[in-house]
Structures are given as structure tokens and as C-alpha cells.
């Protein structure tokens, strides 16, 4: 009689720890991204879009070069998939351009709600492109988080003005960026991935910078640009580390936590307090995230039953 042997308890516990660490890293990454979006919206009052995107990537490129090259030398550039790094960097830069344009015209909450269609798209791509196994219950949790964003968006409201088309471009570019990140993270060094994503964006934007450069009115704007660069760099590095510890289909429900951080930033910086309907949507997203965490731990503790011969 043959069958699948149960997974040893120590192996299951180690796997559970890795998945939970991935979830924690995703939550930290979304907090960084929400801070980046908040500072980006503030910057649109005085900083041209291309100039802001250029500084965000120039900061990441310079920071990664200053930290990595003295310690690792040119070995940090070694990769078996240079074309995928170029594509990943271009997708990330494209999503940043769409984010800058969207935040110029849209409030934080509505923007973040539309952008959070990305996790649902990533789950679909993970199941079809990466061939990851997605359980029906996890599908339900992901869709539940998506419904929560719809409650916040309120179709027919201000979020569906012409500016709503801009985040759709971000949804497309960012979904493929995350899928490619998950794929490359299985074999590539996360430091190499972060290095290339910063330099690809910086080089592309540098070609356009002469057409967008303008003098900023005070040093406060330069400090804001530095904050944007720092948060973008740290956030994407944390996201890479997260995908190394857990599959995309497991992590995607937790990407919805960004809407909570975004609403907090909107309240602190722009004095926009979420109304009752928005809080219902946030509550639904939080419930789906908590249920996803419970499901993750439960799946790792249940022994694998032997197959019948």
C-alpha cells in the first residue's frame, strides 16, 4: 500500500513561521506604500509628475548602489534573466506614473480602493500563470476583500469620474509587476531585483527629465521627495522578501490592508475622515484579512492524509 506520508511537525511549524513572516512583511510594505501615496499627493501641488517619479527612482538607485556595491561589488548585477528585470522595472515605473497622475486628481481613499483591485487580478494571474493552487475558501476571502473595496468606492460616486481611468492603468501594470516579482523571487537575489528596479526607472525617467525639470519653491519639497524615495525603496524590498516566504495566492488578501493605512494618512494629512459606509468596507477587508491569517495557520497544522492505494 502506497500513499503520501504526513509532513513532520517540525517542517509544518517552520513553514507556518515562514508564511506568517511573509504576511508581516506584506503589512509593513503596504504601510510604506500608503506613506508613499500620501506624500505623493502632497507633492503634486508643486512637483511635475516626471520630476517626482524621477526623484523617487533616482533615490532608490543611489541608495542601493551606495549600500550594495561596496559590499557585493558587481556580483549584485549577476542575473540569469536580465530582460525580465528590465520589464519589471518598466512596469514599476509605469505604475508610478499612473499613481502620480491619479493622486493629482483623486482623493486618497477612492484612489486606494480602485488600486486594490490589483490583489484580485494577481490572484487570478497566480492561478493561471504561476499555476498556484488556490483553495475555494481563499478565493472567497480574496473576493470578500474586493467587495470591501467596492463598498468604499461606491460605484456611481466621485470615484467614477474620468480620472478613474488613470488607476486602471496602474492596476494593469502593477498586477503584472507583482506576478513577475513573485516569479523572479524564487530564483533571484532580492538585492539584485531591487537594484535593477530602481535603476531601470531612473534611467527611463532621466531621458524625460529635461522636459519636466522645474525649480522647487523651498527645501521642504526636496525633503518630501526624499521621503517618497525612501518609502518606495523600503516598501518594494519588503514585498520581495515577503514573496520569498509565501506564495502570491496566500499574500494577496493582506495587500488590502493598504486601504486602512491610506485612510489614516488621508485623515492625518488632509483631514478627510472616513464616513460610515467607508468604515463598513474597511471592516469587511479587515475580517477577510483576519480569516485569511487563521486559514493559513490552520492549513499548515492539518496533517496530510495518506492516499488510498
Q: What DSSP assignment string belongs to 178-198?
A: HHHHHHHTTTS-HHHHHHHHH
φ, ψ (nearest 5 deg) of residue 157: -90, -160
Give 181's contacts (C-beta < 8 A, 6+ positions apart): 88, 193, 239, 240, 243
Given the C-alpha cell 485612510, which residue does it identify?
A: 263
78: helix, coil or strand? coil
168: helix, coil or strand? helix
Confidence of residue 111 (pLDDT cuts 50, 70, 90): confident
d(CA 108, CA 272): 9
Mean pLDDT of 206-223: 89
- Lowest-confidence range among 21-30, 154-163, 299-308? 299-308
Write out the three cell numbers for 132: 498556484
Mean pLDDT over the full length of the chain: 80
275: helix, coil or strand? coil
Residues above pLDDT 70, as percent of the chain = 82
d(CA 265, CA 287): 21
Say if CB 25 and CB 239 are below 8 A apart.
Answer: yes
* pLDDT attached to residue 289: 67
Given the C-alpha cell 477577510, which residue does it identify?
A: 288
Residues above pLDDT 90, as percent of the chain = 14
Closest CA to 97 of 48, 136, 63: 48
136: helix, coil or strand? helix
Given the C-alpha cell 548602489, which residue does it identify?
A: 65
Whether this prediction's pTM lies above 0.75 is answered by no
Angle at 92 between CA 87 and CA 96, to 5 degrees: 145
44: helix, coil or strand? coil
Confidence of residue 275 (pLDDT cuts 50, 70, 90): confident
Mean pLDDT of 183-189: 82
* pLDDT attached to residue 160: 57
Given the C-alpha cell 561596496, which residue does it identify?
A: 70
d(CA 191, CA 207): 25
Amino acid at each position: 500500500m502506497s500513499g503520501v506520508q504526513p509532513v513532520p511537525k517540525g517542517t509544518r511549524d517552520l513553514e507556518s513561521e515562514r508564511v506568517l513572516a511573509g504576511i508581516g512583511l506584506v503589512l509593513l510594505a503596504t504601510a510604506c506604500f500608503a506613506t508613499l501615496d500620501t506624500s505623493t499627493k502632497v507633492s503634486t501641488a508643486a512637483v511635475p509628475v516626471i520630476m517626482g517619479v524621477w526623484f523617487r527612482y533616482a533615490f532608490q538607485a543611489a541608495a542601493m548602489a551606495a549600500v550594495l556595491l561596496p559590499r557585493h561589488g558587481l556580483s549584485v548585477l549577476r542575473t540569469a534573466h536580465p530582460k525580465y528585470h528590465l520589464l519589471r522595472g518598466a512596469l514599476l515605473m509605469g505604475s508610478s506614473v499612473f499613481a502620480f497622475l491619479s493622486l493629482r486628481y483623486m482623493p486618497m481613499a477612492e484612489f486606494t480602493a480602485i488600486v486594490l483591485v490589483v490583489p484580485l487580478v494577481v490572484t487570478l494571474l497566480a492561478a493561471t500563470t504561476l499555476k498556484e493552487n488556490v483553495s475555494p475558501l481563499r478565493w472567497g476571502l480574496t473576493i470578500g476583500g474586493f467587495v470591501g473595496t467596492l463598498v468604499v468606492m461606491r460605484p456611481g460616486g466621485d470615484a467614477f469620474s474620468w480620472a478613474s481611468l488613470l488607476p486602471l492603468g496602474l492596476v494593469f501594470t502593477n498586477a503584472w509587476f507583482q506576478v513577475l516579482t513573485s516569479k523572479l523571487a524564487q530564483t533571484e537575489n532580492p538585492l539584485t531585483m531591487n537594484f535593477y528596479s530602481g535603476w531601470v526607472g531612473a534611467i527611463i525617467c532621466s531621458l524625460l527629465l529635461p522636459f519636466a525639470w522645474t525649480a522647487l519653491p523651498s527645501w521642504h519639497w526636496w525633503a518630501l521627495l526624499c521621503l517618497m524615495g525612501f518609502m518606495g525603496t523600503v516598501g518594494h524590498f519588503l514585498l520581495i522578501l515577503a514573496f520569498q516566504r509565501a506564495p502570491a495566492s496566500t499574500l494577496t488578501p493582506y495587500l488590502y490592508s493598504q486601504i486602512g493605512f491610506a485612510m489614516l494618512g488621508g485623515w492625518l494629512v488632509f483631514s478627510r475622515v472616513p464616513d460610515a459606509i467607508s468604515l463598513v468596507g474597511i471592516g469587511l477587508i479587515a475580517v477577510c484579512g483576519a480569516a485569511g491569517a487563521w486559514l493559513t495557520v490552520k492549513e499548515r497544522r492539518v496533517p496530510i492524509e495518506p492516499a488510498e492505494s
